[in-house]
């Protein structure tokens, strides 16, 4: 079973700053990695699929990179609505797994 480890657990930043979130897999997931954003009381929203492809309607300030075991989600300039929890998820192997999440909070 693949384990996804996200770091840091919490990221304290100000609007306009760049956010860099990490997701590390316990074994290679090739490029089969997705990123989700979740706000309180809402369902998660798909941001990035297959490591670097933005989902429909996702702003260009969100970008994903990586392959194998190390992946990064970058938010180039934080907007007020970007403060949320972010999860990575692999679809390389069954069972599908999510990372533990990174909370991006306002500094």
Partner 1 sequence: QVQLQESGPGLVKPSQTLSLTCTVSGGSISSGSYYWSWIRQPAGKGLEWIGRIYTSGSTNYNPSLKSRVTISVDTSKNQFSLKLSSVTAADTAVYYCARDSRGLMPWGQGTLVTVSS
23 is an interface residue for partner 1 by CB under 8 A: no
Residue 14 CB, nearest approach to partner 1 (Å): 25
95 is an interface residue for partner 1 by CB under 8 A: yes
30: helix, strand or coil: coil
Q: How many residues bind partner 1 (CB under 8 A)?
A: 25
Which parts of this chain interact with partner 1 (CB under 8 A)?
A: 1, 34, 36, 42-46, 48-50, 53, 55-56, 87, 89, 91, 94-101
């Amino acid at each position: 079973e693949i384990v996804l480890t996200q770091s840091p657990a919490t990221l304290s930043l100000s609007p306009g700053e760049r956010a860099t979130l990490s997701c590390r897999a316990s074994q290679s997931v090739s490029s089969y990695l997705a990123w989700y954003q979740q706000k309180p009381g809402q369902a998660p929203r798909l941001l990035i699929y297959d490591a670097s492809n933005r989902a429909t309607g996702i702003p260009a300030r969100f970008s994903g990179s990586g392959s194998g075991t190390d992946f990064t989600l970058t938010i180039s300039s934080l907007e007020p609505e970007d403060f949320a929890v972010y999860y990575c998820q692999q679809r390389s192997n069954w069972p599908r797994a999510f990372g533990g999440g990174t909370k991006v909070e306002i500094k």
